[in-house]
Structure 1
């Protein structure tokens, strides 16, 4: 289990976040603590005013909102009653047993998790200290709860965070998940796993997950200041929604960080160069059209992407080796692997195929003529055979003898 604690100054903001998830069908309120009504009968204002009432008893404390989450391993199936019990024990162990709080179960991630909203202002107006609460209080409580409830133990917060993030790495579907969260997981996973040397190569991978990194136009202030933002894409590669600044994403995948990755990728991808070239050669030998070439690459674990300008003219090609997590621009592999050379080789294959089938067609025509001549020859021979057959010959002899006898009679006269 991983516990994350965030403090803030807006109870209504934290409540709106969870209630909006409920309206979208991505969360539900499963339990409360310190409320008179049952959780099913609470209105939005019932939930808010109970917390605001306590927060208002200490005007000097501006940070009066506590919004935490308990995250569990992706393989764990935990029902609502057990989640509520875990939440209650955890809140008791960190000193919030007598505070009112709301427990929301969320469905917008690939792992089970709950969100809890409360305030750190007590009934007498005193403040529960949040200083180092994560390290000094929450971590020991987390480990005890893992043993008490038989949960999968996290060796560290970092390790389980990685599990959670990798479980979520699949193409972003805009509107179906929390965009910023999904984008954060995908971008960080791509940076960690893939070897690339330029922004276009980085984008070649991101586009497989419906994301694009953008520097803006060359005339923009963002481009001049080396800024970077990330867009969500639809299934047709069209930008949707509002872009998210790199600095707003966890681990801050800014252009400066990416440039360090570019230099590292140049070195790390070298051992895979010949293997990628070999598979491309094999794909080219089997392809007679660009689409067939892309299909052949796919069968060999490579995603091939031709780049076209506004006029539809191909000016580049990028290869993403999905097995070895490495990216190459065609020209980086050698002159023969550039977009122009690749298209020429594919067209040559097509012409060779056409000539081959054309020659087969000529051979068939020759065979038809030969068969025709052979047939005529057989017909001629059959007539000749009839004329020269023994029966016909005997008949010819009899006719000759009759004519000879008639001629002799005439001579006798």
Structure 2
């Protein structure tokens, strides 16, 4: 079993995401714990208000929402009743058994998984400390539950590679297929709290993978000076289509102010993942049979790393951005250093090509002799 815990300040967006799964038949709410009414009698408003009323008891705490996903191996063929028992056991062991929480079973991935929504604000207004929740409580709980319920263990590379760990699968937005608001919301819910980006350019590098972009407007525009932000859908050629939507209109409210907080926090936590990306790039560098920038990007893609090549107005390649889908990081070339810049990479492969040509000529000359 693999557990993923995310903290947020917007219960509405998380609840909406899970309720939309129910509406489309891709999910089911299988339990409402510590709610005043039975599950069948709970409307969206009643569910939301239960959490909002708790949040009002401690308005100082901004991150008052906890979104948990429990991911099981495909071989863990568990009934709904057992899934509920596993979830309840997990919540008890991490100290949330007395909190109101909702359990959703999703059916949109290749492995069984649950989503649990809860709050860390207790009935007396005090908050449950989320610091080191994963290390001190979640991990021990996971290991014990695996033993008690006979689940496939999460440890080991083979088990982790046997199924996708992504609890919120997302596809590219196709304009006109579904409502723009819903389509963009799905992407924002997937990206904003999963990937680590340090500026708007890095964020857009990821969003554009899903045909979405965050637009602050031109530098001399009123929207730019007032720090407004629009979200737009892109077509396959990268052109904007449809009507843009204000950031404040989304439940998550991913405004520029919201993002700037993310930028600051991500800058701190990204540093530990730089080494991993550099190591992946170095492995491609040392392979002598790849002699072009195109080969370089293809090999990185096989390792789970996308590269975004930026051109200037004259159409000349200018810089490279790396999206590491293994660690969910976005790094510009300036963040990694000169060795991993576009100019350095082009020089690297130019030198390789030159060396290969020289060796080939030497071999031909030797044969003639």
User: Where does 1:79-228 land on structure 2 (aligned, <5 Å)?
Assistant: 156-157=101-102, 163=115, 167=168, 169-228=170-229
TM-score by length of 1: 0.52
CA distance in 2, matches of 1:94, 1:163: 18
Question: Aligned to 2:312, which of 284, 309, 313?
Answer: 309
Query: 2:325 & 2:226 partners in 1: Cα distance?
Result: 33
Distance 1:188 1:133 in 2: 20
**Does residue 74 of the first structure (1) align with residue 19 of the second (2)?**
no
List aligned pairs for 1:3-402, cutoff 5 A.
71=23, 74=26, 156-157=101-102, 163=115, 167=168, 169-286=170-287, 287-366=290-369
Deviation at 1:150, TM superposition (A): 8.3
Tell me how far 1:360 sits from its aligned partner.
2.1
Q: Deviations over 1:161-180 (max 9, x none)?
A: 99599545221111112221
SS in 1 for 2:306: strand
Tell me: CA distance 1:73–1:313, structure 2 relative to 1, closer, same or farther (3 Å). Answer: same
Quote how far apart the aligned CAs of 1:201 are: 0.6
Aligned counterparts of 1:313 and 1:326: Cα–Cα separation in 2: 26
**SS of equivalent residue, structure 1 residue 212:** strand
The alpha-carbon distance between structure 1 residues 247 and 258, as it changes in their structure 2 partners (threshold 3 A), is same
TM-aligned CA distance change 1:163 to 1:241, over 3 Å: farther
SS of structure 2 residue aligned to 1:193:
coil
- Residues 54-83 of structure 1: CA deviation (Å, up to 9, x unaligned): xxxxxxxxxxxxxx996477366xxxxxxx
Unmatched 5+ residue regions in structure 2? 1-11, 13-19, 29-37, 51-79, 88-99, 107-113, 117-165
Query: Aligned with 2:244: secondary structure?
Result: strand
1:358 CA drift (Å)? 2.2
CA contact (8 A) 1:169 1:182 kept: no
Q: Secondary structure at the match of 2:323?
A: strand
- Residues 1:291 and 1:253: Cα distance change in structure 2 (over 3 Å): same
CA RMSD of aligned residues (A): 3.5
* Native 8 Å contact 1:74 1:167 kept in 2: no
Answer whether contact 2:311 2:318 (CA < 8 A) is retained. yes
Structure 1, unaligned runs of 5 or more: 5-67, 77-88, 96-114, 116-129, 137-148, 367-413
Q: Note if contact 1:188-1:253 (Cα within 8 Å) is conserved in structure 2.
A: no
Determine helix, strand or coil for the equivalent of 1:305: strand
Instruction: Compute the displacement of 1:329 (Å).
Output: 0.7
TM-score (norm 2): 0.58
Number of residues paired by the alignment? 241
CA separation in 1, counterparts of 2:323 and 2:227? 26
Distance 1:184 1:211 in 2: 10
Residue 256 of structure 1: how far off its partner (Å):
0.6
> Using the alignment, how far apart are the partners of 2:178 and 2:242 within structure 1?
13
CA distance in 1, matches of 2:101, 2:39: 18
CA contact (8 A) 1:335 1:341 kept: yes
Residue 354 of structure 1 deviates from its aligned partner by: 1.8
Describe the SS at the equivalent of 1:241: strand
Greater RCO between the two (CA within 8 Å, min separation 6)?
A: 2
Cα distance in structure 2, aligned partners of 1:163 and 1:240: 33
Q: How far apart, in 2, do the equivalents of 1:351 and 1:184 lie? A: 49
